[in-house]
Amino acid sequence: MKIANKIVLSMTLLSTAVVVLAGAWIGWSASALSQQAIYNRATSQLLSVREIKKSEIERYLKSVEGQLITLAHMVSTVDAVQGLSNAFKNYPLDSVPDSSFRALKDYYSSQFGQNYQKLNNGQEANSLMRLGQLSKQGEALQSRYIASNPNPLGSKHEWMGDSLGTPYDTLHQKYHPGIKQYLEQFGLYDVFMVDNDGNVVYTVFKELDFATNLLNGPYKDSGLARAYVKAKTLADNQYYLDDFTPYYPSYEAAASFISTPIFNGTERVGVLVFQMPVDEINNIMTFDSRWKENGLGNTGESYLVGNDHLMRSQPRQLLENESAFIGSLESMKVDRAAANQIRNRSSAIGLLKVNTQAVDKALRGERGVVEDTSAAGVKWLSTYVPMEALGLRWALVTEMQADEALADISTLNHEVILKVVIAIVVAAVAATVAALVVGNGISKPIRVSISQIQRISRDNDLTARLPEQGSEEIKQLAKALNTLFTQLQETICQFAQATDKLNSHTQVISHNMGEPVNPSLISMSVLNPS
C-alpha cells in the first residue's frame, strides 16, 4: 500500500475513533445532565403542587375548626341546645298519630333498607332492629321529621318544622333556618346538637341519626358517638376530630366528625358536631377537576390517605372516567367487595386501600420523592408528605405517571443521539478530507523525488538534481540524494579519467613492445597494485 494511502487511512481511522469516543462521551454527559435537569423540573413541579395542597387542606381544616368553635359560642346555639333538649325530653307522644309510626317503619324497611342494600352489595340493612333501639321520643320525632316529612329523601332539611305545633316544632322553626344557612354557607355535610344525656336533639339533614341516643342507642359505637363522648371531656375552645369510618345512617359511606362542647358560662350544656364535608376536601385536592390547568398533565393528581391506608379523597381517574377506573380495579388487586362498593357509590373514599412506598413513608412521618410501581404495574413519580389533620395523621401524595412526567427525557435522548451521529459523520468526513490534504502534502514531494530519481536512472544523467523544497524532512532527503549524486558523478569522472590515462599508457607500452597488451589487465594491476 502506498504511503499516501496509509497516511490517509491511518489518519481517517484515528480521527474517526477520536471523534466517536469524544462524541459518545459528550452525548452521554449532555444526556445525563439534561435527564437530571428534566427529573428535577418534574419533581419540583410535583413538590410545588404537593406543598400547595398541604397548605390548602390544613388551612381549610383550620377554618372548619374555627366555624365549629364560632357556632358553639353563639348565644343562639346555647339557647337552641338547651331549649331543644328540654322539648325533646317532654315531647308529647300522644300528639303523634299511629299513621306516622307506621310510615316510619315503612321508611326504615323500604326506602332506607332498599337503598342500603343497593349500595352495599345486597347486604341486609337490619334497619328494623335499629328502629327498635330508639327511645319513645326518638321514634316519635323521627316519625314526624323523617317519615312524615313532605320532602323526598335527601331534601328533608328543606322542611322548617312540623305542623303539630309542639314546643319542639316551635323551637325547630326558630333555629333551623339560621343553622341551615350556616351549613350551606360553609359547605358542611351536617350539623348536630347533642345534649348532656347523649340525645341528638337536632340535625340539619334529618338522617336516621336524628333523635337517637349516642350513649345507648343504635349508633353508640359510631364515629359520631366517639366525637360526642370525647367532646364531653374537653374544655371550652377545644375540639376533637374523629377520622373517616363507615357510617350506617349514611349507608356505610365513610364519615368523619368534628366536635366541641357547648358552654353556658362555665356549665357544659351540650355538644356541637359537624359531619366533615367530603366534597369540599375533594374540591381542594382535585383543583375542582382542573388538573391540566394546574400543571398535572393527563395523569397527575393529589390525594389524601388515612392511617388505615384508605383514601380520604377521590382518585382522578374515578372522576374523569369512572367506567375505566372501575374496570381497572381488578388489575389493582382491589378486594371484590370493596370494588363493588366503589362502583355502587361512585366513590373510593374509605374504600380503596393504597399500599405504596409513598404512602408508607408519609405515614411514618417522612417526606420526599420516590419512583414506584403500582399494583397495576404502572410506574409513578410520587412526592409525599405527612399531614397533621387536626390531630390525625394523614398522607398527602402528589404524583404523575413516570412516562408522562419524564417524557422529555426520551425526546432529549433521541435528539442527542441524532446530533451526535451527525457530528460524527461530519467530523469523519472532515477528518478524511484533512487526511487527504495532509497525506498528499507529505507524499507529493516524495513522489516528485521518486520521479526525478527514476528519470536520472533512465537517462543516466547524474547531472540532474532533485528540487530541495517541501517539508524540512523532504528538503533534507533531496539534499542528501543530491550530495550522493554529486559524489557518484565525481567518482565516475575520476574513474573515467583514470581509464583514459590507462588507455594512453597501454598504447605507449604496446607500441614499444610491438605486442598487443590487454588494457583490463593493466587497469587491474593499476587499481590493485598488490
Where does a domain end: 373, 403, 433? 403
Are 260 and 238 in contact, with CB atoms under 8 Å apart? yes
Q: Which helix (H) or strand (E) holds 283?
A: helix 278-285
Query: Could you tell me the end-to-end alpha-carbon distance of the chain, in angstroms, rounded to an integer?
Result: 50
Task: Supply the pLDDT for residue 406.
Answer: 74
The answer to whether residues 80 and 227 belong to one domain is yes
pLDDT at 35: 65
Query: By mean pLDDT, which of 38-42, 143-147, 356-360, 389-393 is the weakest?
Result: 38-42
The boundaries of the domain holding residue 346 are: 41-58+281-403
Residues 319 and 361 in one domain: yes
| Grid cell for residue 423 | 457530528
Q: Please choose, from the candidates 74, 52, 54, the residue with its C-alpha nearest in 3D space to the C-alpha of residue 62.
A: 54
Identify the domain boundary among 371, 403, 435: 403
Give me the helix-helix angle, 3-73 and 407-459, nearest 10°: 170
Q: What is the pLDDT of residue 421?
A: 73
Determine, yes or no, domain membership for 438: no
Count of domains observed in the chain: 2
pLDDT tens for each residue of 366-389: 999 999 888 778 899 999 999 998
Residues 409-420 have a mean pLDDT of: 66
Same domain? For 185 and 102 the reply is: yes
107/247 same-domain check: yes
> How far apart, in Å, are the Cα atoms of 81 and each of 73, 176, 179, 235, 238?
12, 12, 12, 18, 18
Residues 100 and 212 in one domain: yes
Q: Which comes out higher in pLDDT, residue 46 or 435?
A: 46
Q: Are residues 271 and 345 in the same domain?
A: no
**Mean pLDDT score, 497-512:** 73
Answer whether residue 436 is part of any domain: no
Same domain, 194 and 227: yes
Q: What is the DSSP string of 91-157?
A: --GGGS-HHHHHHHHHIIIIIIHHHHHHHTTT----HHHHHTTS-HHHHHHHIIIIIS-SSPTT-GG
pLDDT of residue 26: 67
Angle value at C-alpha 386, between 385 and 387, nearest 5 degrees:
115
- What pLDDT sits at residue 432? 74
Residue 288 lies in a domain: yes
Give pLDDT, residue 504: 77
Q: What are the pLDDT digits (tens) for 222-265?
A: 999 999 999 999 999 999 999 999 999 999 999 999 999 999 99
Grid cell listed for 305: 390517605
Q: What was the pLDDT predicted at 526? A: 45
Is pLDDT of 206 > 80?
Answer: yes
**Both 93 and 121 in a single domain?**
yes
Q: Give me the CATH number covering residue 305.
A: 3.30.450
Domain boundary residue among 403, 426, 445?
Answer: 403
Share of the chain above pLDDT 70, in %: 84
pLDDT higher than threshold 50 for residue 3: yes
Kindly report the number of other CB atoms within 10 A of residue 37's CB atom: 13
Tell me the CA distances in angstroms from 429 to 5, 17, 20, one per residue in order: 16, 13, 12
Classify the C-alpha dihedral 130-134-139-141 as positive or negative: negative
Say if residue 527's pLDDT is above 50: no
Distance CA 348, CA 213 (A): 30
Considering the domain architecture, whether residues 267 and 132 belong to the same structural domain is answered as yes
**Interior/surface letters 159-172, b for 16+ CB within 10 angstroms, e for the rest:** bebbebebebbebb
The answer as to whether 13 is a domain residue is no
**Residue 388 in contact with residue 48, Cβ under 8 Å?**
no
Within 10 angstroms of residue 155's Cβ, the number of other Cβ atoms is 12
Answer for the pair 451, 481: CB distance below 8 angstroms, yes or no: no
Q: Does residue 124 sit in the same domain as residue 265?
A: yes
Q: What is the pLDDT of residues 450-495, one digit of tens each?
A: 777 777 777 777 677 777 766 676 777 777 777 877 877 777 787 7
Q: Is 98 exposed, middle or buried (0-12, 13-18, 19+ CB in 10 A)?
A: exposed
Domain of residue 127, CATH code: 3.30.450.20
231, 333: one domain: no
